[in-house]
Amino acid sequence: MKIGDRLKKASKFALDILFPPFCVNCGKEGMYICKECSLFVLEASLVCPVCFKQSYKGEVHEGCKNNSLDGLISIFEYNGLVKELIKEVKENHLSHALYELTDRAIISVLEDKERFSSFLSLILDKETRITYVPMVKKKESGRGFNQAKIIAEELGKKTGCRVIDSIRIVEELNNREYINIVLVDDFLLTGETLKRYSRVLRGRGVRSIWGFTLARAC
């Protein structure tokens, strides 16, 4: 285990002791969404990233292909407990909760390898890199973190896929064209943010771009 990973693990352990998580619904100590309350968390159906109509594997429909996303993975419906927890992350700087949500998301993907097969093939490809939607510096400084970056790093750690800092991505792509990209954000409303950044990446010669968010407004 790398020194950085050891420090993160130690930090997480310390936080669990000093500031143990409590369920946002029932208040039970141990998790931000406890086992019993997780029954109220709904998974989102996979949709085409352009028209938002159902797509079994989250791939863009043949008739919808344009210059943005090739696929979209959003795990949970953006309502109820998930929406409340993401709100807590932003308003009360509860960045620790993002690890729990991301772990839940990854478990959901691995438990349904057929439906997520296209995404898994992409993210396990050695030519794929993960990056994330950047934040305005002033806003990130005030919050103390970029939630999309935390999700991206956790996703990279669990899959072994390299994470590229969004600030340095242009330099990376100039050195290696036709790379595959997974573009991460915390949740998706209209999809315009992911589409805007994906068009920039496409202009740099990226071969395949998928969006990944923890949740999607349904």
Residue 90 has a pLDDT of: 87
Please, which pLDDT band fits residue 59 given cuts at 50, 70 and 90? Answer: very high
The CA-based angle 204-67-180, given to 5 degrees, is 50
State the Cα–Cα distance between residues 148 and 132, nearest whole angstrom.
6
CATH number of 127's domain:
3.40.50
Residue 7 has a pLDDT of: 43
Residue 165 has a pLDDT of: 86
Residue 20 has a pLDDT of: 85
- Asked if the model's pLDDT at residue 17 lies above 60, the reply is no
Unique residue bearing structure tokens 């994906």: 198
By the 10 Å C-beta count (0-12 exposed, 13-18 middle, 19+ buried), 152 is classed as buried
Asked, for residue 129, whether it belongs to a domain, the answer is yes
**What are residue 212's phi and psi, to 5 degrees?**
-135, 125
Asked, for residue 33, whether it belongs to a domain, the answer is no
Domain span at 69: 42-80+114-216
Total domains present in the chain: 1
Residue 66 has a pLDDT of: 87
Residue 93 has a pLDDT of: 84
Average pLDDT over residues 98-116: 96
State the Cα–Cα distance between residues 102 and 80, nearest whole angstrom.
17
Residue 19 has a pLDDT of: 72
Please, which pLDDT band fits residue 3 given cuts at 50, 70 and 90? Answer: very low
Lowest-confidence region among 15-19, 28-32, 115-119, 159-163: 15-19
pLDDT in tens, 161-217: 999 987 667 666 665 656 899 999 999 999 999 999 998 888 888 889 999 999 999
Asked, for residue 28, whether it belongs to a domain, the answer is no
Asked, for residue 104, whether it belongs to a domain, the answer is no
- Asked if the model's pLDDT at residue 143 lies above 50, the reply is yes
State the Cα–Cα distance between residues 84 and 198, nearest whole angstrom.
28
pLDDT in tens, 70-86: 999 999 999 999 999 99
Spatial strand order of the sheet with 208-216 comes to 71-77, 208-216, 180-188, 128-132, 162-163
Asked, for residue 121, whether it belongs to a domain, the answer is yes
Asked, for residue 128, whether it belongs to a domain, the answer is yes
Asked, for residue 98, whether it belongs to a domain, the answer is no
- 61-91: string of b/e by CB count within 10 Å (b at 16+)? eeebeeebbbbbbbbbbbebbbbebbeebee
- Structural contact between residues 214 and 74, judged by C-beta atoms closer than 8 angstroms: yes
The distance of Cα 151 from the centroid of its chain, to the nearest Å, equals 5
- For residue 147, give the nearest of 132, 161, 166 by alpha carbon: 132
Q: In the predicted model, what is the mean pLDDT of the chain?
A: 87
Asked, for residue 145, whether it belongs to a domain, the answer is yes
